[in-house]
């Protein structure tokens, strides 16, 4: 059961400065590290980005692409009554918007602390703390699945997640997910001019890892090239129907980590993959 959030101070976290490196990290280590990272950083994340995300908006990315205009899940009027799973829901802002359209969302996240923020904001839909690679739902439970920067950038084997999503989707169902655009892997994660020069190989798939002084991963991010993403989607039984690369809008003057107007006007920051599970013939 998800409890209301209270002041949260993880044991041993005070004054800790992780070491950044590039090394292998498997499925288990990645999941453990990222669950801990999001539990530790959920409060700061929601404080820093909560205003931009809103309590009940569906924002796909730092560029500010809004589902109201994008309709990547389909027209809003057709969402009524649809069973929708949001993966990597955080404080469930997207699920809250879906509920307002008459959909029946379920918000899932690996981080218990993130879901406490979802409970704080409120909503009448279920909150589920679980790993996206082992979804606790029956086959064909959902009409739609969505994920705005949830799970996929952080898992060592994205096909585990994609196959699970395929399993819980009904035939003809749609899965839409956004991730950091793969080209960004070659550039420093900086919003200013220093983030405009290639610093590493786009083809180097060695994970980015932050680790403690005993070498234990405390944060892991995995890289897939654009081709890798397409092959993962197809191999997991989906049909790729669209690939959206949002342009940076003139109204957005915000910086979000390595996302900024300067970089956003020159190189893509986000890739949104629109996938469908074929109808049974």
Once rounded to an integer, what is the mean pLDDT over residues 87-102?
98
pLDDT of residue 51: 93
Taken in order 196, 200, 206, 209, is the CA torsion positive or negative?
A: negative
Report residue 121 as tokens: 């904001």
The angle at the Cα of 128, spanning 127 to 129, to the nearest 5 degrees, equals 125
Number of domains in the chain: 1
pLDDT of residue 279: 83
- Look at residue 158 and tell me if it is in a domain: yes
The mean per-residue pLDDT over the stretch 19-25 comes to 97
Q: Residue 7: inside a domain, yes or no?
A: no
Average pLDDT over residues 47-67: 96
Residues for the chain: how many in total?
Answer: 281
Q: Mean pLDDT for the chain? A: 94
In a domain, 168, yes or no: yes
Q: Bigger pLDDT: 15 or 222?
A: 222
CATH for 190: 3.40.50.150
- Say what the pTM is: 0.94
Q: What pLDDT band is residue 1 in, cutting at 50, 70 and 90?
A: very low
46 lies in some domain:
yes
69 in any annotated domain: yes
CB 98 within 8 A of CB 72: no
Residue 66: strand pairing partners: 59
Q: Is 152 left (phi over 0), alpha (psi -120 to 50) or beta?
A: alpha
The answer to whether residue 16 scores a pLDDT higher than 90 is: no
Q: Is the pLDDT of residue 281 over 90?
A: no
Residues 140 and 19: their CA atoms lie apart, in Å, by 42
What is the 3-state secondary structure of the chain? Answer: CCCCCCCCCCCCCCCCCCEEEECCCCHHHHHHHHHHHHHHHHHHHHHHHHHHHCCCCCECCCCCCEHHHHCCCCCHHHCCCCEEEEECCCCCHHHHHHHHCCCEEEEEECCHHHHHHHHHHCCCCCEEECCCCCCCCCCCCEEEEEEECCCHHHCCCHHHHHHHHHHHEEEEEEEEEEEECHHHHHCCCCCCHHHHCCCCCCCCCCCEEEECCCCCEEEEECCCCHHHHHHHHHHCCEEEEEEECCCCCCCCCCCECCECHHHHCCCCCEEEEEEEECCCC
Instruction: Quote the pLDDT of residue 8.
Output: 47
Structural domain for 237, as ranges: 19-277
Q: Regarding predicted confidence, which is higher, 185 or 16?
A: 185
Assess if residue 2 is contained within a domain. no
Q: Is residue 73 a part of any domain in this protein?
A: yes
Check residue 17 and give its pLDDT: 87
Task: Write out pLDDT tens, residues 267-280.
Answer: 999 999 999 999 87
Which of 249, 114, 84 has the alpha carbon at shortest distance from 176?
A: 84
Does a structural domain hold residue 160?
yes
């Amino acid at each position: 059961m998800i409890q209301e959030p209270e002041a949260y101070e993880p044991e041993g976290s005070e004054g800790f400065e992780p070491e950044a490196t590039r090394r292998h990290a498997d499925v288990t280590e990645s999941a453990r590290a990222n669950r801990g990272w999001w539990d530790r950083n959920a409060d700061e994340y929601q404080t820093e980005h909560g205003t931009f995300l809103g309590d009940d908006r569906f924002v796909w990315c730092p560029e500010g692409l809004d589902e109201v205009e994008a309709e990547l899940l389909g027209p809003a009027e057709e969402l009524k009554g649809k069973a929708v799973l949001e993966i990597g829901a955080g404080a469930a802002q997207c699920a809250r918007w879906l509920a307002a359209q008459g959909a029946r969302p379920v918000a899932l996240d690996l981080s218990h602390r993130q879901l406490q923020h979802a409970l704080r904001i409120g909503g009448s839909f279920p909150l589920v703390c679980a790993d996206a690679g082992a979804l606790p739902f029956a086959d064909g439970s959902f009409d739609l699945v969505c994920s705005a920067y949830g799970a996929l950038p952080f898992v060592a084997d994205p096909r585990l997640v994609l196959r699970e999503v395929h399993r819980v989707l009904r035939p003809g169902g749609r899965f839409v997910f956004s991730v950091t655009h793969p080209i960004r892997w070659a550039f420093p994660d900086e919003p200013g001019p220093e983030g405009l020069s290639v610093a590493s190989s786009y083809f180097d798939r060695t994970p980015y890892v932050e680790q403690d002084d005993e070498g234990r991963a405390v944060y892991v991010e995995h890289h897939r090239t654009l081709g890798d993403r397409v092959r993962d989607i197809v191999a997991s039984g989906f049909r790729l129907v669209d690939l959206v690369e949002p342009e940076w809008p003139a109204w957005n003057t915000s910086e979000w980590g390595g996302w900024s107007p300067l970089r956003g006007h020159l190189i893509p920051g986000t890739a949104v993959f629109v996938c469908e599970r074929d109808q049974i013939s």
